[in-house]
Every structure is written in C-alpha cells, then in structure tokens.
Amino acid sequence: MLKVLWKSLRTGVVTEPPPARDDAELERLGIEVKRHIDRKFAGSLAVREVDAGSCNGCELEIHALNNPYYDVERFGVHFVASPRHADVLLVTGVVSRHMETALRRTLRATPRPRYVIAAGSCACDGGEFGISYASSGAVENVVGVDLRIPGCPPTPEQLLRGILLFLEQPGGSD
Amino acid sequence: MNRFDWLSGFLARLEDEHVMVGPKAVRELSPAQVLEIDPENWGRVAEVAAAEGYRWSAIWADEHAQEMRLFSCFENEGDYLMLETGLALDSKLALPSQAPFYPAADRMERHIHDLLGIEFAEAPDTRRWTRHQAWDEDCFPLRRKASPDGAPPARTPADGDYPFERIAGSGVYEIPVGPVHAGIIEPGHFRFQAVGEEVLNLEQHLGYVHRGVEKRAVGRDADGLLKLAARVSGDSAVAHAWAACQAIERAWKIVPSRRALQLRGLLAERERIANHIGDIGAICNDVGFAFAQMQCSRLREEIQRRNAELFGHRLLMDVLVVGGVTVDLDVEAIAQLRADMQALSVEASRLFDVLNDQPALEDRLLTTGRLSHDSARELGCTGYVGKASGCGFDVRSNNPYAPYDQLAIEPVVHEQGDVAARVRVRMKEVLVSLEWMDRLLGGLADGPVRIEATPHSAPCEGLGVVDGWRGETLAYVRFDEDGRVARYFPRDPSWHTWPALERIVMGNIVPDFPVCNKSVNGSYAGHDL
C-alpha cells in the first residue's frame, strides 16, 4: 500500500489545462455542429460509447480521454455502462450492417433529451469502408447525428474540444 | 539451422498414407514452401501434420478466373509449409475440413463458406459464422461476380436466431452479453451458461464489426491497400501494414533498405509496448485496481505523443509504405528516443515491481482464467496468450526477418497460463522491447528510408509474416495484370485466441469474465474483417 501511495505522490499531477475554445480553431478542425443543446447539460454529461464498426483506433483515443493527462471527468463528462443512463451516444466506426439494429436499439433505450456524436472519419463519412454489402457507411445514414468529430482517429484533444463545444453551446432546448 | 530439413520426411510420411505428391509439387512463396495437393487430400494431409505436431496457422481461399484456389498454412520448427489446391469453378466447391485435426480452423472455414460458398466436408460445426442477417445463405459477397454493394435489406435485423448451444439442468441460466458492451470496447456477443456464479460454458458470436475488408481491398492499388491494412485492427496498424508490405514487396521482388527495416522494427516494438502497457493497466482496472490504470495510461499517453511528434501519428497509421517508411529520424530524434526509452524502462520496472507486490491483485489474477498448455497448442495460440501457456513461438526468434535477423530479441515464455502469467509476459516483453530498441537505435544503418516501388505488370502474389503484439500476423496479397489487388487476406492472431477465451473462462466466475477477456484482448475488428 505504501509503495502505491509513494508512487502516486512521486508521479504528481500531470493533468493539463483544457484546450482553448477558440471558434476559428474549431472551425479549422472541421467540427460541424448541427444542433444546439440545452444549457442544462453544462457541468455534467453522461456518455455511452458505441462502436458500430470501427477498427478500434477511435476506442483507444476515447480511452485516452480518461487518462490523467486529459482527465475528461473533471469537466463532468463521464462514461456510463448503459444507454439508459446516458445523455449522449458517442458512436465510432461505419455502421456495420450487423450492428445496425444494435445501434438503433441503443438509441431507443436512451431517454430524451439525447444526442448522438459521430466520432472519427468512418463515423462521419464512411472512411475507408464506405457503403457496401457489409457497411451502411456514416452514422447519419442510420441515426440522426448532432455533432461530428472527424479524424482517423481523432486525437483525444480533438475529441475533448468537440465534447466541450457541445457542452457549452448556447441556445434553446430541443 | 537447416531450413525444411524435416520436409522430405513429411513427404515420405504422406507417401505412406498414399497421398501422392508429384515431383513438381513444391514451390516457393517466401518465407513458405508451398505443397500442391489434390482437394480430396486436404483433410488427410492436415491429419498427418497434426500427428507430426505441426502448428496450424491459417486458411483462406482466392477466386481466380477459372478456379477457386485454397491455401492453408502450417509451421514446424520455425519453417512455414503451405498447402495449396484448386477447385474448378463449375464443380461443386467442396473439400474436406481441417477442423477435426485443428480446432482453430473451424471459424476460418466457416468464414470462407459465408463469403465464398465453399463447403468443408465433415466439419464439426457448419453453422454460419461471419454472416448474420445482412446477406442470405445462398449469397457469397466475396465472389468475383458479387457486387460490393450486395443486396442488403433496407434495415438489417438483429441476429436473433443464431443457434447457440444450450445446457439444460436445474439451476442453469443463460446470460447474453453484447453486442454493445458496457465499456469503451468493440462489439461482440457472449452467451454464458452459468450455475450460480460459475461459468459452465461460454459461446462467442462474433462478426458484428464485419466491414468487408477483403471485398474493399479488391481493385485497390498498393498505397490504397496499405491504408486499409493499417485499419484492419487500429491498434495493430504497424503489424498488419508490415505484413502487407512484406507480401507486396515479395510479390514485386523489392527489398527495402536496412534502415527502413530497422525503423519498421522500431515502430512495431513501440506499438507492442504501448498496447502491452495499456493492457496491463486495463487488466488491473478490471479487478478494481485503478492505480495501475492511471499509471499505465499515463505512460501509454507519453508513448503516443512521442509517436505523433516523431512519426506523425499517435497510433503510427500510414507510416509504413511499400518500399519503406515515410519518416526518418535525425540524430537529435534518435537521442531523444533513446533517452525516452531508458527513462521508460526505469519507470516501467518500478511500476511493475509495485504491481507485482499487491496481494489483492495476486488474489484476483493468480489461477484465474487458466489456459492449459495443451489447449494453447491445440489452438495454435501465439503472442502473449500462447507464451503465457508455454507456447513460445515468436516469428521474430523462430523465423527472423529483418531487422530481427541481425539483432536478436529475447523470447519470453511462462508456464502457468493464468491471467497473472499473461500480465507477466507482457511486462517482460515491454522491458525486452525497450532494451532491444535501445540497441537498435545505437546502430541504425545509413541509407534512404524509402525506395522506389514500381508495381509489376504481370500477376504476382506474396506472403507476409510478422510478429505483431498480439502474435503471429499473416498477410496474403495477389495482384492482377493491371497491378490492382485481386486478393488481400489479413490473418490476425485473434483467430486463434478467441476460441482460447472460451476455454479460459470455463470454471471461472462470471465477474471474472472481463479480466479474462482483457487478458486475452482479442481483436474484434481484426477477426471479423
């Protein structure tokens, strides 16, 4: 136990300040926002991650959001185990046809207000896999998408910017 | 060591079994020797190979203009022997199954059936595998005449009627898990039969992230293929890209510079240590030890940041190209990397000492999820899953390719086969790789990191075999006369470790499934293709 405490103390705090939320910067990153969200999400966002057909690259970067450097929980963003606990579905990958119903059901199980974020190039525009006998392509081909965060995969910083933008978007409720 | 000095003995054995092999039957497909046999002997030869103790590695099929070619791959004493056969397209596409002798062949044969329509006689399991509800049973999407668009339903229904095995009995209940899993993880379905907390049986149902990789490869040029290869399994971008590069380079008979190959080795080992460190943290996290998760994910982050800085991509995607790599390292970068690795070596050692010293962790990981040596051998498990159960095969040591031929890397083996052993193997591999990379960086050859790579104007094929961080990774690539990909088959090592997980979890408690699963960490995407 002492070794664990000592190691933690010696490592110290590595968490970095959040990325600057400059609109031009976000524009450059090509993040599109389709809908405004209710201000009441600010301070707490429950995210259910759904891999609809990714290569697992996006998952690795989403995992990184929970590492000490990015520590996404300090913004009130936490990942939940069930869609029933979620405000947002964070969907990666093309929607493989074998995952189509699972994705639809997961969305249906998410109580309103609910939003869908498509993370990664495959989720945004079909990536390397497009539409085929096996794949329905971009997430928006199957369910409505409120925010797109492109990248192959998007870096944790790009994901964080996208999520923070989403959290602080002013505007009416849906 | 004389390569293939056992082959003549094997051919003699085949003759004893009345399997006639003609004098011209053996050809080279580097690094393998390929034996052409008649389709009706497909099972018999596998049976003999199994009796001789050869490891089975892969099977795939490839439709040519007039016939369907099949390959299966075996390994013995570090040498690769492939079997090859052909079925006329206008005949019944059937040949014997190899699964009765090699259980890991089961799913790959079913995958071939679902995509190409080939039947495997006397296969122990003839249920569909890759095919769920997106195409019919008389539809074979990888056939040449099948359009890539297919004819899928407007909405693909859930795969509700897959015939799982059931166990009847008082108190036995069934737990379905997935495809959507509770964490940030790929999708797949696990059907448990349990009594109380104890798992009587686990049956997997994968194929949920089937994206049509093999179909999407057809018609691409080499650069396009490499983009796809890096995304077969995003965490194994280097492994799959390297195997594909080897296949293409052998097909085109080009040899990258030594420096380029050394850099590929560096990238592959960085991929290995990043994933191993991440996994060690995640395994500990799955038994409630968050400290390890935080420390390991911190170290993983540092590796990935340095990857972005020096190689342009945190996961090293698109750094390997045909003929070499896209990025070189200058003297400063090399010095920085060496300093990094030395620091990480010390840091990781200290962290592993702390982890190895936790009784609560020991309590959860020791004896949990044991894979017997026999099972690991039977399934042909490589990588940390095989190594933790005494199966030490590693392409880098047993069939070394550059740069491992000139700079040997120490193999790691444990015997216990439990989750703790799979953690220990990873820990040791991290330290071994760090030390190896340091030596590599101390002796980089001069030269360009990328050579000109012109496609052949004639049909050609090649095989690539590397040791990715999950284990032995294969790639078969065939080009048509236009220099376009006619066939790409990436064989991720997970085909062998997924079935191992079914055995591993039996007799364990249901709450230990996540840690067992994480200790195996099979690739869903790399397997589903």
Q: List the beta strands (DSSP E) in B444-504.
A: 460-468, 471-479, 485-491
Q: For residue B474, give both structure tokens.
A: 């294969």
Please give the Cα distance from A35 to A22 (Å, whole number): 19
Nearest to B157 among A52, A57, A101 (CB): A101
Asked if B297 and A64 come within 8 Å (Cβ–Cβ), the reply is yes
Classified as helix, coil or strand, A9 is helix
8 Å CB contact between B383 and B392: no
Q: At B336, give phi and psi (nearest 5°).
A: -65, -45
- Report which residue type is found at A44: S
Q: Give the relative orientation of helices B331-356 and B258-285 as an angle to the nearest 10 degrees.
A: 30
Asked if B354 and A3 come within 8 Å (Cβ–Cβ), the reply is yes
8 Å CB contact between B231 and A57: yes
8 Å CB contact between A158 and A151: yes
Cα–Cα separations (whole angstroms), residue A22 to A25, A26, A31, A148, B453: 5, 6, 12, 17, 43
Amino acid A25: pLDDT = 56
pLDDT, tens only, B267-326: 999 999 999 999 999 999 999 999 999 999 999 999 999 999 999 999 999 999 999 999
**CATH code matching the domain that covers B213-499, chosen among 3.40.50.300, 3.30.70.60, 1.10.645.10, 3.10.450.30:** 1.10.645.10
Please, where in chain B does CATH 3.30.460.80 lie? 7-121
Q: At B133, give phi and psi (nearest 5°).
A: -115, 15
pTM over 0.90: yes
Amino acid B20: pLDDT = 79
Classified as helix, coil or strand, B81 is strand
What secondary structure does DSSP assign to B251-284, as a single string? HHT----HHHHHHHHHHHHHHHHHHHHHHHHHHH
What's the mean per-residue pLDDT of chain B? 96
Amino acid A34: pLDDT = 33
Please give the Cα distance from A89 to A110 (Å, whole number): 8
Asked if A155 and B186 come within 8 Å (Cβ–Cβ), the reply is no
Q: Give chain B positions within 8 Å (CB) of A155.
A: 308, 314
Enumerate domains of chain A plus CATH numbers: 30-168 (3.40.50.12280)
Whether the per-residue pLDDT at A91 is higher than 90: the answer is yes
Asked if B186 and A7 come within 8 Å (Cβ–Cβ), the reply is no
Nearest to B301 among A67, A104, A106 (CB): A67
Asked if B209 and A54 come within 8 Å (Cβ–Cβ), the reply is yes
Q: What is the band of A172 on the pLDDT scale with cuts at 50, 70, 90?
A: very low
Q: What percent of chain B has pLDDT over 70?
A: 99
Whether the per-residue pLDDT at A170 is higher than 70: the answer is no
Nearest chain A residue to B314 by CA distance is A155
Q: For residue B440, give both structure tokens.
A: 């590599």
Classified as helix, coil or strand, B96 is strand
Please give the Cα distance from B467 to B243 (Å, whole number): 9
Please give the Cα distance from A33 to A45 (Å, whole number): 17
Q: Which residues, other chains included, contact A144 with Cβ-Cβ below 8 Å and sequence gap of 6+?
A: A116
Asked if A99 and B157 come within 8 Å (Cβ–Cβ), the reply is no
Task: Give Cα A138 to chain centroid, integer Å.
Answer: 15
Which element (helix H / strand E) includes B383? helix B383-388
Residues in a beta bridge with B153 = none
Whether the per-residue pLDDT at B81 is higher than 70: the answer is yes
CA angle B524, B295, B428 (to 5 degrees): 70
Please give the Cα distance from B202 to B214 (Å, whole number): 29
Amino acid B254: pLDDT = 95
For chain A, the C-alpha Rg in angstroms (whole number) is 17
pLDDT, tens only, B244-282: 999 999 999 999 999 999 999 999 999 999 999 999 999
Q: Which of A1-15, B100-114, B139-153, B422-436 has the lowest mean pLDDT?
A: A1-15
Terminal alpha carbon distance of chain B: 37
Best interface-test mutation with A: which of B209, B271, B280, B283 has the largest number of A CBs within 10 A? B209
Torsion region of B390: left, alpha or beta (phi above 0 gives left; psi -120 to 50 gives alpha):
left
Please give the Cα distance from A105 to A85 (Å, whole number): 14
The CATH number assigned to the domain with range B7-121 reads 3.30.460.80
Q: Which of B300, B294, B297 is nearest to B274 (CA)?
A: B300
